[in-house]
Chain A
Amino acid sequence: EAGVAQSPRYKIIEKRQSVAFWCNPISGHATLYWYQQILGQGPKLLIQFQNNGVVDDSQLPKDRFSAERLKGVDSTLKIQPAKLEDSAVYLCASSLLRADTQYFGPGTRLTVL
């Protein structure tokens, strides 16, 4: 069974530029999460989807971050415009059911210069 796929693995941009990350969850997993992990800290939930609907986006900085999960499968997370403090690893995770074990992708490491 293929795991959670993410791309790109690494991205370097300058502040005020835009960036997008892509996630392909495990086949059949209805729940998808995006987390932000700043160096030295634990991951922080940004947004949770159930199929193509948003369940929780309370910690998503909506002035610059957006996410979508069209057709309830793949998801994209966008930052526009990026700030220095957005430098982090962005992790995507999926689970078969809500409140089930989460399976994590390898993450995208973003560096904002």
Chain B
Amino acid sequence: KNEVEQSPQNLTAQEGEFITINCSYSVGISALHWLQQHPGGGIVSLFMLSSGKKKHGRLIATINIQEKHSSLHITASHPRDSAVYICAVRRGGADGLTFGKGTHLIIQP
């Protein structure tokens, strides 16, 4: 079983819909990251969380440390949001990230 599990693996939605991507992890962590990867492009860090909630534009990330669960929300989704969204955790005592497999999101106009 992977230490970081994401759901769904694939998600297709219509422009304007509210999007939720979930991440569960099974190890103790010091931080959780949400990253975005466009086809053929590099990876961009969206959020780094250790508790609570963070918001940047239309993106919101939450984390529940007790339940070992995090969610990434996109409000008023747009076709340019189409990308792979990756959850990654930094294990306690380590610096390198352990990644989930990613959620492939497609927003149709």
Tell me the A residues contacting B by CB distance below 8 Å: 3-4, 31, 33, 40-45, 48, 55-56, 91, 93, 95, 98-99, 101-107
**Which chain B residue has the least Cβ–Cβ distance from A50?**
B95
Residue from B4, B43, B88, B94 with most neighbouring chain A CB atoms (10 Å)? B43
Please name all residues of chain B whose beta carbon is closer than 8 Å to the beta carbon of A91 when the two chains form the complex: 42-43
Please name all residues of chain A whose beta carbon is closer than 8 Å to the beta carbon of B86 when the two chains form the complex: 42-43
Q: Is the CB of B45 within 8 A of A103?
A: yes
Q: Is the CB of B101 within 8 A of A45?
A: no
Cα of A55 to Cα of B94 in the assembled complex, Å? 9
The 4 closest A-B pairs by CB, nearest first: A42-B99, A45-B96, A104-B43, A106-B42
**Which chain B residue has the least Cβ–Cβ distance from A99?**
B95
Q: Is the CB of A56 within 8 A of B42?
A: no
**Which chain A residue has the least Cβ–Cβ distance from B96?**
A45
Cα of A41 to Cα of B86 in the assembled complex, Å? 10
Q: Is B52 an interface residue (CB 8 A)?
A: no
Q: Is the CB of A42 within 8 A of B4?
A: yes
